[in-house]
Amino acid sequence: MKRVVLILSAMILCFFTTSLAVDNLYNSNLKCSFTLPSSAYNDLSLLSKEYLPDEAIKNGDVVLDQIFKYNVEILDNFIESYEKKTLKANEMVRITRYTIEGSPIISDLIFVNNKLILKEDKSRNFYSGPKDLIIKEYEIKRIYTKVVNNTIFYMVETTSGEKFSIAAFHIN
């Protein structure tokens, strides 16, 4: 019930503070256009422990849960700029995914010193074991998308050869 109220609150916030639009690429993706200046990196340690969806949307995050997706175009634009080598120093995008229990998992992609860095924060997922409640940092060699069974995966490959998804959602 709390999760439904949070989702509805986020939707109402979106409705009253931005215009609703249909994302032609992903079919009926609600867009909320909140963005921080690219140089205004808000360190993970400064975020609230609960970091609720309405706060994440307000902060301009790409927000994904089991039902909704917000601001995906920000991630697409970031990847496009990275591929075109037009990212500026400290430009970043924050992806906040919510588990089925409502815990946030936050992934920051930051362009620093001509390198793409991923900071992945699982420390707020209280349903994980103690060894998983950490923030990891990776240097990214490549970022790309992959579509499998009507789901789009945003994948990264680290400089050490690891490959994993940092975001995924069902395509209607």
Name the residue ranges covered by the structural domains of the chain: 2-139
Residue 137, both tokens = 């940092």
Quote the pLDDT of residue 40.
52
CA dist 53 and 61 (Å) reads 9
Quote the pLDDT of residue 37.
42
Quote the pLDDT of residue 69.
92
In the chain, the percentage of residues whose pLDDT exceeds 90 is: 54
CA dist 89 and 113 (Å) reads 7
Dump pLDDT digits (tens) for 80-115: 999 999 999 999 999 999 998 889 999 999 999 999
Quote the pLDDT of residue 41.
63
- Residue 103: how many other CB atoms lie within 10 Å: 17
* pTM assigned to the model: 0.75
Report the C-alpha dihedral over residues 32, 36, 38, 40, rounded to 10 degrees: -160
CA dist 153 and 103 (Å) reads 20
Give the residue ranges of DSSP H helices in the chain. 2-17, 53-58, 72-83
Residue 27 has pLDDT above 50, yes or no: no
